[in-house]
Amino acid sequence: AAPARPAFLMQLTNDAWFGKGQGPLQHLAQARMRAIEQGLPMARVANTGVSAMIDPWGRITKSLALNEAGFLDAPLPAPRPATPYSRWGEWPFFFITLAGFALVILRRRRNLKFDQRGRQS
């Protein structure tokens, strides 16, 4: 059976169709955010994009530039303890959104009752 939480993340990608544009750099930024979000190191391997070893704080410890051929020999950084997002995912956002909608509905009902009382007086 797989462990509850992996030791690292790996991203294998083909950024060739982006050419020399900003796409591969944006994908690298997204990979860095994913490492931070999960508190896990990430090995990013791209055929023509940016290949990199990313630590769990999103820092690039070693990398190959865009369209640079080669290989990386980098130690795998240790993972951080599980982050709140890796434990709970989107659930806190869902409940905050639900509570916000409930407050809006309650406020509208209270304002409606107040308006009706004001008109009847």
73-121 per-position pLDDT tens digit: 999 999 999 998 888 888 889 999 999 999 998 888 877 766 556 554 4
DSSP string, 30-70: HHHHHHHHHT--EEEEESSS-EEEE-TTS-EEEEE-TT---
| Residue 100 and residue 69 in one domain | no
| Residue 74 and residue 44 in one domain | yes
| Residue 56 and residue 97 in one domain | no
pLDDT for res 5: 86
Residue of 77, 55, 52, 84 lying closest to 66 (CA atoms) = 52
| Residue 12 and residue 53 in one domain | yes
| Residue 112 and residue 77 in one domain | no
Contact assessment for residue 86 and residue 37, using Cβ atoms and an 8 Å cutoff: yes
| Residue 39 and residue 57 in one domain | yes
What is the domain extent for residue 24? Answer: 1-83
pLDDT for res 94: 92
Q: Number of structural domains, the chain? A: 2
| Residue 71 and residue 102 in one domain | no
| Residue 17 and residue 63 in one domain | yes
Give the span between the Cα atoms of 20 and 47, in whole angstroms. Answer: 13
More confident residue, 21 or 26: 26
30-61 per-position pLDDT tens digit: 999 999 999 999 999 998 879 999 999 999 99
| Residue 20 and residue 71 in one domain | yes
